[in-house]
Amino acid sequence: MQPEALHSAWVLGWRTARAVIIVPIVEELFWRAWLMRWLINPDFQKVPLGAYSPFAFWITAILFASEHGSYWDVGLVTGIIYNLWMLRSKSVADCILMHAVTNAILSGYVIVTAQWQYWQ
């Protein structure tokens, strides 16, 4: 992000909206609604939401972590929590909401403390 953009409420607002609305929907549909089930059976629509397979659980968590770059460790813990929540709730909507709340809290922290590295 360009340094001058960090002083624009419009830019920060859109960045937060993306993190809180778009990212949770796209990522949860991919990671927990599709990938976890596809790893169990490529005909994933036959696999109910929240189905458990150790292989699917851990591969999804590890790949989710790898998407978070140098913060892979935080991504791994978060991926495990989100996977567990999918197993418990069997609800993509619940996972989207949890992911949105996580990202909203992180966005607030980044903006208030100017810890911009978390938005790289």
pLDDT, tens digit (0-9, with 9 covering 90-100), for 39-55: 999 999 999 999 999 99
Work out the average pLDDT over 8-21.
94
Q: Exposed, middle or buried: residue 82 (CB in 10 Å: 0-12, 13-18, 19+)?
A: buried
In the chain, the number of structural domains is 1
Dist. CA 15–CA 26, nearest whole Å: 15
Q: Write down the residue that tokens 């978060």 correspond to.
A: 78
Say how many CA atoms lie within 13 Å of 72 toward its Cβ.
8
pLDDT beyond 80 at 37 = yes
Domain limits at 15? 3-119
- pLDDT, residue 6, reads 73
Each residue's pLDDT tens digit, 62-120: 999 999 999 999 999 999 999 999 999 999 999 999 999 999 999 999 999 999 888 87
**Number of helices (H), then strands (E), in the chain:** 6, 0
Please give the angle made by the CA atoms of 60, 49 and 33, to the nearest 5 degrees.
Answer: 50
Residue 37 near residue 44, CB atoms below 8 Å: yes
Give, in order, the Cα–Cα distances in Å from 31 to each of 1, 9, 71.
26, 31, 18
Whether pTM exceeds 0.75? yes
- pLDDT, residue 5, reads 66
